[in-house]
Amino acid sequence: MTRKKLAILVGIVIAIGALTLIFWPTAEVDDHAQKETEAETPEGVVTLSNEQISEAGIQVAAVRSGAAVELVFPATVAARPTASARIDARASGVVRSVGKTLGDYVSRGEIVARIESADAAALASQLSAARARVTELSSAYERERRLFEENVTARQDLEAAQANLSVARSELQRAQAAVAAAGVSGDGRSLAVTSPLAGRITAAPIVLGAFVDAGEELYRVVDPNGLQIEVALPSAEASRIQPGDEAVLVVGDGREIGARVRSVTPSLDPESRSATAVLSLSRGVPGLQPGAFLQARIRPSGEIDRDRIAVPEDAIQVVEGRDVVFVRTQTGFQAREVQVGTRSAGMVTILSGLQEGWRIAVANAFLLKAELGKEGAEHGH
């Protein structure tokens, strides 16, 4: 190798080394700067201008201390007096047909069973006799009327025949009403057992072919739409509960049902030393049965807990399994995790995570959640 070629080769090596020294540190600095920039971006930030917030209809309100007081009591589901019926045998006899069983729905006046009874035969016989009596006296009256028109009999004879016929017709109407009320069959052998209200059969001790006495229970029917809640109030709390107070009922599966106090007994039970509050349901609840136990949270009107914070339910959003609210910042909103308590009447009690005076999104906050998810997807790419 000549001296000239060796010099050229050394020059090339030196040039490559110089380029490496120039560009390698810059790449490290850029990468480090990018990491620092990403680290400086707070998690859960949604950047929006005032105009964008206004156009989206996102409403902002300041957090204020003060949440409604809630008193928790055990409660029992019961049927209103007009929504529950016991169906008894109207007469002694043998159960010849059973039309309904436990859990079936019935309509008002529907026949649910038939009892073969001597009373049915007696009622049918009375009806037949009353009809025969009317037929007989109708003929007698017609005969007296013709004789009176021919001047054969006196007016008083005609009037007496007419009076007898009127009495017979009244007896016939009474017999017909008795037969209809008892549901006597066409052959006069059995009586119908009917339901006095529409609802669901909750008890059915009736047995086909069994002999039953008059007044013996055959069915029990409850109208699911006629349920009420009975709450036992300790003497110390009874005076705080008034008709019209709002309440929330928690059923076994965690569902919450709105209710309102309808009445409170004016005196205490001598044995339990408690009063009873009756709550009306805001709507029918499928699956709710008389006798079931619930938890009732009653909010006494006018009582406020100044040490607690409550926000509108729409302000709470669930992000990645966490309950968050969106706090207003200079550049938009910041999602902050909160611990929620009870929910009632559209408000949610906040146990931790918020401070009084902070301004949060209280309406259309779900748009901020959607925007946060969109930004998270873009950063992921």
DSSP secondary-structure letter at 107?
-
Segment 116-128, tens digit of pLDDT: 888 877 888 888 8
pLDDT confidence tier of residue 4, bands split at 50, 70 and 90? low
Which string of DSSP letters, residue by residue, matches 33-82? HHHHHHHHS-TTEEE--HHHHHHHT-EEEE--EEEE--EEEEEEEEE-GG
**Least confident range of 21-30, 142-151, 192-201:** 21-30
Closest CA to 317 of 376, 358, 244, 370: 370
pLDDT confidence tier of residue 217, bands split at 50, 70 and 90? very high
User: Cα(175)–Cα(160) distance, rounded to whole angstroms?
Assistant: 23
Of residues 2 and 240, more confidence is placed in 240
Closest CA to 43 of 340, 379, 328: 379
Entry pTM: 0.53
pLDDT confidence tier of residue 378, bands split at 50, 70 and 90? low
pLDDT for the residue numbered 28: 39
211-212 β-sheet, strand order: 190-194, 111-116, 93-98, 211-212
pLDDT for the residue numbered 31: 41
Domains in the chain and their CATH numbers? 45-67+306-379 (2.40.420.20), 72-81+223-304 (2.40.30.170), 118-185 (1.10.287)
pLDDT at 296 over 70: yes
Cβ-based neighbour number of residue 117 at 10 Å: 23
pLDDT for the residue numbered 14: 53
pLDDT for the residue numbered 376: 56
